Amino acid sequence: MEANIDQNVLDKANSWLSGAYDEETKKAVRDMMENNPQELTESFYRDLEFGTGGLRGIMGAGSNRMNKYTVGMATQGFSNYLKTNFPDKNQISVVIAHDSRNNSQFFTQVTANIFSSNGIKVYLFDDLRPTPELSFAIRHLKCQGGIMITASHNPKEYNGYKAYWEDGGQLISPHDKNVIAEVEKIDGVADLDFSGNSALIETIGKEVDEVYLAKVKALSLSPEIINRQKDFSIVYTPLHGTGITLVPDSLKNFGFANVHITEQQAIPDGNFPTVKSPNPEEPAALELAIAQATDLGADLVMATDPDGDRVGIAVRNGNDFVLLNGNQAASLLINYLLTKWSEKGKLTGKEFIVKTIVTSELLFDLAEKYGVQHYDVLTGFKYIADIIKHFEGEKTFIGGGEESYGYLVGDFVRDKDAVISCSMIAETAAWAADRGSSMYEMLKDLYVEFGFYKEKLVSIVRTGKAGAEEIKKIMDNFRIHPPKTMGNSKVVRIKDYQTSTNHNLENGTTTAIDLPKSNVLQFFTENGYKVSVRPSGTEPKIKFYFGIKGELKRKKDFDKVNAHLEAQIEEIIRELKLN
């Protein structure tokens, strides 16, 4: 068996057999060496790294797996880095929270023990909480960092570790790379102290919830409308995750009195028994809630992912429900915010919104209509948080979002927030109803005014070591042999964020991209198409984002134009051989 295993993998596995690991872990490694060389390779061919969402991986024994040792090493490295950065701080402190996943509570305790053994004070939530409340608590409690134990919307085999800085945002450069460097300096797991210091661990809970929910309620722009529309019917599902702890309470605080919970999915459960994947981007995840809404005659369906930072929605269209993608939901939310800020005379010229480079340009059209500044950032909400931090005290952040169903309103949280988003999306829907319209009809109105923006995401999954190599080859091929045309339209511009270059193919000029380097390619055609390609930072897949635009002169032509644009995207997909 060993002859089929890469020597580096074998060496690393043997180091776990001879190191200070518990017997259960060593037994698991021996079993892989004797019976499953492929699993051994997947478990040891690399170390888990921080991507756009932090540390994330399949649970199990090995350096490329989520376990007490990889979590412990990450926490020790983070502890060392915090001490280096805050040498004059009398008491460095962090907040830790976790989601409903299997082993999340265990990893939380491991993390708390490592931090406290390093003399760092830990504020530990008494039970599962959404990621955005963790972000809020860091600033609220004036901590220097925080950890959220979660793998977001990944399948049940995964868990993860999101690391946050004192501003409440996830680690970005140079902190993310520096923490990794600190982890790499650690000689081995024998240096880890799992015993903990209970005197430095303080339990927190309801008192933080109350402050957070009050701040969410203060974001409401139309309490009088909600009062008129308080019976607006909503179905909400937390998909077995943390949303159940705060979303229903927040909707109640806003004044919504007709909220129905999908009870089969209301119990936190890391096995996610009622869904194939707890991902609100996937239509199947909303099926139970939509069926319930159909029976009840409800108008809005909302589903949050396990750690409560992303939300998927379905809106009524006659007798049916239509799933809105992240670009559409973000556009409707931003349109509502900007309209209300304008009506209330709150726009002074110092307000701004932020989106990611793969998110719909419709958000910028809306910002320009109201004279609001707008910024593009790399994929990953930590970059939106960084812009908010950069302009703190100078400009006011109204809202922002990304196509992957993550949105934020206000700046007291520094990550995408499904508790805020559910509350403000419900308010947007009530506003539409109060005007005798609906979210779906308002979306059509936006397309008539600004153009029909049609977006589509295609993900190609390639797992393990071989998959990572294949994804790299795909990206290399697009760089070496970029498409010359897409959808019968000439490619006129290529942005390569890895080399920070913007190539104008029409005049042969190259300009710099003023964003951090990232493995992303974007192709633009002469008729306005945009195709973005990037490997996921949190999942074993490569993502293709398609964005095209057409004209919608009359709302009654919506289905016809939609079908035409869909056909154009499918043609580009065929051209790129992604079928």
Q: Which of the residues are catalytic?
A: 152
d(CA 137, CA 212): 8
CA dist., res. 489 & res. 398, Å (int)? 36
Structure tokens, 420: 């805020």
Question: Before 174, cis peptide (omega within 30)?
Answer: yes
Bridge partner residues of 161 (DSSP)? 55, 149
Burial of 217 (0-12, 13-18, 19+ CB in 10 A): middle
Q: Which of 111, 87, 206 is nearest to 163 (CA)?
A: 111
Q: Is 32 helix (H, G, I), strand (E, B) or coil?
A: helix
Residue 434 to residue 229: CA distance in whole angstroms: 7
Q: Judge residue 102's burial from the number of C-beta atoms within 10 Å of its C-beta, 0-12 exposed, 13-18 middle, 19 or more buried.
A: middle
Question: Taking the alpha carbons of 15, 20, 25, 30 in that order, is the dihedral positive or negative?
Answer: positive
d(CA 366, CA 78): 40
Contact residues for 399 (Cβ-Cβ < 8 A; gap 6+): 333, 334, 337, 353, 407, 408, 409, 410
What is the spatial distance between Cα 389 and Cα 127, in angstroms, rounded to a whole number?
Answer: 29
* Cα–Cα–Cα angle for 25, 27, 31, rounded to 5 degrees: 120
Whole-angstrom distance between the N-terminal and C-terminal Cα of the chain? 37
Burial of 236 (0-12, 13-18, 19+ CB in 10 A): buried
Within 10 A of 16 (CB to CB), how many other CB atoms are there? 22
**CA 469 – CA 423 distance, rounded (Å):** 42
The string of DSSP letters for 389-436 reads: HHTTTTSEEEEEEETTTEEEESSSS-S--HHHHHHHHHHHHHHHHHTT
390 burial type by CB count under 10 A (0-12 exposed, 13-18 middle, 19+ buried): exposed
**In which residue are the tokens 């029409």 written?**
506
